Structure 1
Amino acid sequence: MKIKTVCIIDDDSICVYGTKILLNHNNYFGSNILVYEDGYEALVNLSALAKTGKSLPDIILLDLNMPVMNGWEFLDEFVKLPLTTMPHIFVVSSCFGLKEIDKGKSYGIVNDFISKPLLESNLTNLFESIMTDTQTL
């Protein structure tokens, strides 16, 4: 089984570009990448997918520091959506500490935190952990 869709929510075009390259070279990943430059754009589009019964991404890679709606504000609203299946959400940020990790855990939907820049080994480990969790269900 491959992970079909990954959503990148990040305003840094260089990080998005690098992540897309890593995704396209990963054996666990299918081919669909959704990219949103801020939390608001992502929330509107992901809400529309959910309301029309379409599949949400398997994984969301969420930056915290963005204009318009930051990662925390996105999580505040995303957690309210009536979803039957929750994507795996990973916060990908260049700056986070214990305070941010505790805050992320308080949402109950954040799987983990990953430091920027995203490395191929991080992505492979992330996918392998998801595949292992999926197979044990």
Structure 2
Amino acid sequence: MENKINLACIIDDDPIFVFGTKKILEYSGYCDTFLVFKNGQEAYKNLRTLIQQKSVLPDLIFLDINMPIMDGWEFLEEIEKIDIPKQLKIFMVTSSETPADREKAKEFSVIKKYVVKPITLDVIKDIIKQIE
């Protein structure tokens, strides 16, 4: 089996997506430890605290675009302002198939891949290969 993920972060306000993604990662044996945030602001505050405390950061982050309070784009703009000791590996996982969103994602170096929902085991396997 490929490398196991020690900690995955899911930033998404859709409880069905969060549940399904966690189950795929758990059942496949890739990961069983998660940070889950319902919006970008909650995620930003918590990740910023982890960085300041020099705590363990997620091996990968699944980030949605459309969320209340702070969306995925706003989260990316804020997180890029922080000096992070470890390169974050963010996978934009969204229902948006618009070319404008795909192009905007390319502006952020922390985004490793743009993935259109739903997420499947094959997509997870591909993501795991990219973070090894």
State the TM-score, normalizing by the size of structure 1: 0.90
Structure 1: runs of 5 or more not aligned: 132-137
The equivalent residue for 1:116 is 117
The equivalent residue for 1:5 is 7
Matched residue SS, 2:6: strand
Q: Which moved more, 1:32-41 or 1:78-87?
A: 78-87
Asked whether the equivalents of residues 5 and 32 of structure 1 are also in contact (C-alpha less than 8 Å), the reply is yes
Structure 2 residue identity aligned to 1:17: F
How many Å apart are 1:84 and its aligned residue? 1.2
Q: Which moved more, 1:100-109 or 1:39-48?
A: 100-109
Structure 2 residue identity aligned to 1:3: I
Structure 2 residue identity aligned to 1:75: L
How many Å apart are 1:34 and its aligned residue? 0.6
Kindly indicate which of the two structures has a greater share of residues assigned to strand. 1
CA pair 14-30 structure 1, distance change in 2 beyond 3 A: closer
Asked whether the equivalents of residues 26 and 124 of structure 1 are also in contact (C-alpha less than 8 Å), the reply is no
Q: % of aligned pairs identical?
A: 37
The size of the alignment, in residue pairs, is 130
How many Å apart are 1:129 and its aligned residue? 2.4
Offset from partner CA, 1:63-111 (integer Å, 9 cap, x none): 0000000000000101111101122100000113322122111121111
Please list, as runs of the form range in 1=range in 2, the aligned pairs for 1:19-30 lying within 5 A after superposition: 19-27=21-29, 29-30=30-31
How many Å apart are 1:7 and its aligned residue? 0.1
Structure 2: runs of 5 or more not aligned: none
Name the Cα RMSD after superposition: 1.1
How many Å apart are 1:120 and its aligned residue? 1.0
CA–CA distance in 1 between the matches of 2:48 and 2:28?
28
Structure 2 residue identity aligned to 1:102: E
CA–CA distance in 1 between the matches of 2:4 and 2:17?
23
Structure 1 residue identity aligned to 2:92: V
CA–CA distance in 1 between the matches of 2:18 and 2:31?
17
The equivalent residue for 1:65 is 66
The equivalent residue for 1:91 is 92
State the TM-score, normalizing by the size of structure 2: 0.93
Matched residue SS, 1:83: coil
